[in-house]
Structure 1
Amino acid sequence: MNPRTTSTVVAVDGRIAGPRALVTRQSLVDALAHLLDSRSFREVKVTDIARDAGTSPATFYQYFPSLEDALQVLAAHVVQQGRTLDGVFTDAGKDGTLTGAREAVDRLFGFWAAHKAALRAIDTKAAEGDERFVQARNLLLSAVAQPLSDAMAQRRTDAALSAHPKALAGTLATLLASAATHEGGLAAWGSRDELRDSLAYLVTSTVKSSR
């Protein structure tokens, strides 16, 4: 991963980070991302990050008071990249066929696979109740849930739609994200294509136009 920082960065001691400092800070975040590919967040140590970045633990603490603060920067990058999902589900299922919904499901699964290490760490901290990561996860899910909610809102008069569109969209987005996270573990229930086709069917059945 390559989470680039574009806003002003203030070091722990209150100084504004210059170009060289930004490069060093970025190398530490990149090192964290790299280490998460092979271990859980709980297993990562500051000394590991510093070693991977070619610097010292003292340097790490110049930029981050804790490991969670470094992860927060990485999470912000993932959320920014998650904007590529905006609109992916806008028209999924509206034509009553599985094609568009399946393409949307594949896009979502591709994003989750590309960022699986960071997403795993975000999920861990969110499950522990850290609001920074609960918010990051909610922002990611909203890129999927909002267009689904908008599509469902157009069907408020449909008797088959008894749940509130926003709540139903959030539930469906959470299901899609969970399936993307645990795709390998769901192999006992069907093949990869069967799983994704089933999710596309759920999307289509829920949000297709009632017209």
Structure 2
Amino acid sequence: MEGRSMLNKFVSGSVVLDTALHNQIGQKIGSKGLRTRQKLIETTIELLETHGLRDLSVADIARAASTSPATFYVYFEGVPEVLLAALEHVTQSTPELVKMAEENWSELGQQDRARRFVELYCAHWWRWRTVFRCRNLASEEGDIRFQEARRQSVAPLIEALTGQIMRAQSKGLVPDNLSPRASAGAILTLLERLAAVGPLTPEQPDMSFETLKDAAAYMVAALTVGR
């Protein structure tokens, strides 16, 4: 299953487990407990590929993880808290994306740089689409914990793109009446939607996921370097 290979990141070392975690009664979690907790996170996200966050039960997760609901409650208060735990290790602002957004695009072939940025963003979002999709739905339903998780996830990219736009404005390449931060937010809103639905876009003679990314890159370049 695709979800299983994706979730192997949690245990492969590319996502570091927090060894200072405590369980629901305040006890420090040992190595065996960390593995159990991580298995519950992996299983939950895998199940969320085919279940809604509000529809998934603790019993479903415990059964799929070959454990008991009682064991689940040792580590988590409920299903939403499992997703929040996963979000502590998955961000939209990856180091590679932030580094790219901080570079001076006006001196590096801006259109190619914008296209590469769009490509990387979409690939990363799609890889972790289950986590991001469920987070966004919970956020839009008014859960302030997921709203904050969403804000923190994009904050470094917002800052990097804001700086990019401000540099372009200082050179007269982008209109001064545009808010740099609002423009950065608009870019990420565009890319998030593109990343979520673009791969599902039916191929048409004049529109495909690739041509949508081309158009998005043009708009990103226009807002960041004025070209």
TM-score normalised by length of structure 2: 0.83
- 1:179 pairs with 2:191: no
- CA displacement at 1:81 relative to structure 2: 7.6
**In the alignment, is the contact (CA less than 8 A) between 1:85 and 1:108 conserved in 2?**
yes
Deviations 1:85-131 (A, max 9, x none): 22232337524642111011000001011100111111011112222
Q: Unaligned 5+ residue runs, structure 2?
A: 1-6
Aligned counterpart for 2:123 among listed residues 110, 115, 137: 110
- 1:168 pairs with 2:183: yes
Aligned counterpart for 1:15 among listed residues 6, 27, 30: 27
Secondary structure in structure 2 of the residue aligned to 1:17: coil
Aligned residues: 210
Change beyond 3 A, Cα 1:163–1:7 = farther
Change beyond 3 A, Cα 1:116–1:137 = same
- CA displacement at 1:82 relative to structure 2: 3.3
Deviations 1:171-205 (A, max 9, x none): 21121112111214555782111100111101111
**In the alignment, is the contact (CA less than 8 A) between 1:93 and 1:205 conserved in 2?**
no
Q: Which runs of 4+ in 1 moved over 3 A?
A: 80-84, 184-189
What RMSD in Å do the two structures reach over aligned CA positions?
2.3
- Counterpart amino acid of 2:196? T
Q: Unaligned 5+ residue runs, structure 1?
A: none
Q: Looking at both structures, which has the greater relative contact order when contacts are Cα pairs under 8 Å and sequence separation is at least 6? A: 1
Deviations 1:136-173 (A, max 9, x none): 21222224322210011123343623111112111211
How far, CA to CA, are the matches of 2:132 and 2:139 in structure 1? 10
Please identify, of 104-113 and 172-181, the stretch whose mean Cα deviation from structure 2 is larger: 172-181
- CA displacement at 1:47 relative to structure 2: 1.0
- CA displacement at 1:132 relative to structure 2: 1.8
**In the alignment, is the contact (CA less than 8 A) between 1:98 and 1:197 conserved in 2?**
no
TM-score normalised by length of structure 1: 0.89
Deviations 1:7-59 (A, max 9, x none): 41111122111111111111101111111222222221111111121100110
Aligned counterpart for 1:42 among listed residues 39, 47, 54: 54
Percent identity, aligned pairs only, is 28
